[in-house]
Amino acid sequence: MKRNTININLQPVNNQGSGIALFANKLIAELEKSKLYKIFGSFNFVRGVKKKELERFSFPVKYSSVPAKVVYSRLIKKALPFYYHNMMPGESDINLFLTYKIPRVNYSGIVITTIHDLIPLRVATENDKIQTDYRNDIDYAIRHSDYLITISEASKKDILEEFLYNKNKIFVIPNGVDFELYNSEIEQEHLTKVKEKYQLPNKFVVYLGGIRIHKNVDNLIRAYALLSEDIRAEVSLVITQGNEDLKKLTANLNIEEQVFFTPYIDEEDKPAVYKLALAMAFISSYEGFGLPIIEAMAAGTPVITSNVSSMPEVAGDAAVLVDPFEIEETTDALERIIVDADFRKKLIEAGYENAKRYSWTHSGEELVKLCNTILK
């Protein structure tokens, strides 16, 4: 029996530290396991990315000499006069894009594109160009895709509010978490090494993520500053990365001795950082999903997160939900988690169960189910 073919676009897979790259690599791995399809991979030339870097996949990969900056150019309003398969391994039943950028060419076969979120269109951004470019890319994908994937019901709702699209052709495939990786016991010696590597304090609440405006890290710092001096003397706040504005804010609030800024946390160190933390605070104003929520829960770390966007959907009943714009709500949540050991224990137990709902195996099964439905 002839197997259907899927051509997977590999453009996002090497963007280390990116949620989109993680999603793409994990779902590709699950699709490979299924053995139901004949899979090809494709990649347009990008300076600095060598063909050898794409040889880790078990399927054939075509590294096209046509530069990505040409076929992905936002200056192109109508499709270039050739087909995607002309620069790739060949025609496929499905052309799968696990990100929102697709080449501006013609397609034979079905096009599935992934729109993770509409962050630049829903929140303040660092500059207007980000918003303009993002809308350009999303709008093109919307008009040229037969089906869309997104990562939460909240994101699906946002897409339908922002763009005209058939709701029956948008499928939710959530992020997953490697539960065993985050949940496994870590030897004290390794925890100590990670603590020393990032110069972490003895007892702390952590924010682990980026520092773009919508991450609302400034309000987390303000909320921490409202805790009593006794609590702050015992429990510090750790911010991964950080910037000069946030450091100035801590100085203005006279808490610079109690707030620690780390460099980027290496992926392999994240489970240890979560386990070292007393709690994880993630009070973004908007998220397409909020992967740190389930990572922390899998590690056994209580979570404070926002009651807006996708975060209540992802956290379920296993986190303290706060209004991200009401600073005192976050302060109260921090205080309760810090002082109430029984409450922490309940959150940890509920967090384990919630995190188990999100596995990459389940997400892969949903992708296979989508492909099977489309190809009937």
233-249 per-position pLDDT tens digit: 999 999 998 899 999 99
Phi and psi torsions of 94, nearest 5°: -130, 135
What are the tens digits of pLDDT across the range 175-207?
A: 999 999 999 999 999 999 999 999 999 999 999
pLDDT at 28: 97
Q: Where does the pLDDT of residue 1 fall: very low under 50, low under 70, confident under 90, or very high at 90 and above?
A: very low
Place of tokens 């921490």: 224
- Whether 104 and 68 have beta carbons less than 8 Å apart is answered as no
pLDDT at 90: 82
Phi and psi torsions of 14, nearest 5°: -100, 10
User: Looking at residues 98-124, what average pLDDT do you find?
Assistant: 95
pLDDT at 18: 85
User: Looking at residues 353-362, what average pLDDT do you find?
Assistant: 97
What are the tens digits of pLDDT across the range 139-161?
A: 999 999 999 999 999 999 999 99
Place of tokens 């390794």: 190
User: Looking at residues 281-285, what average pLDDT do you find?
Assistant: 97
Whether the pLDDT of residue 126 is over 90: the answer is no
Q: Could you tell me what percent of the chain has a pLDDT over 90?
A: 88
Place of tokens 């139901």: 36
Q: Where does the pLDDT of residue 124 fall: very low under 50, low under 70, confident under 90, or very high at 90 and above?
A: confident
User: Looking at residues 219-225, what average pLDDT do you find?
Assistant: 98
Q: By mean pLDDT, which of 122-131, 247-256, 276-285 is the weakest?
A: 122-131
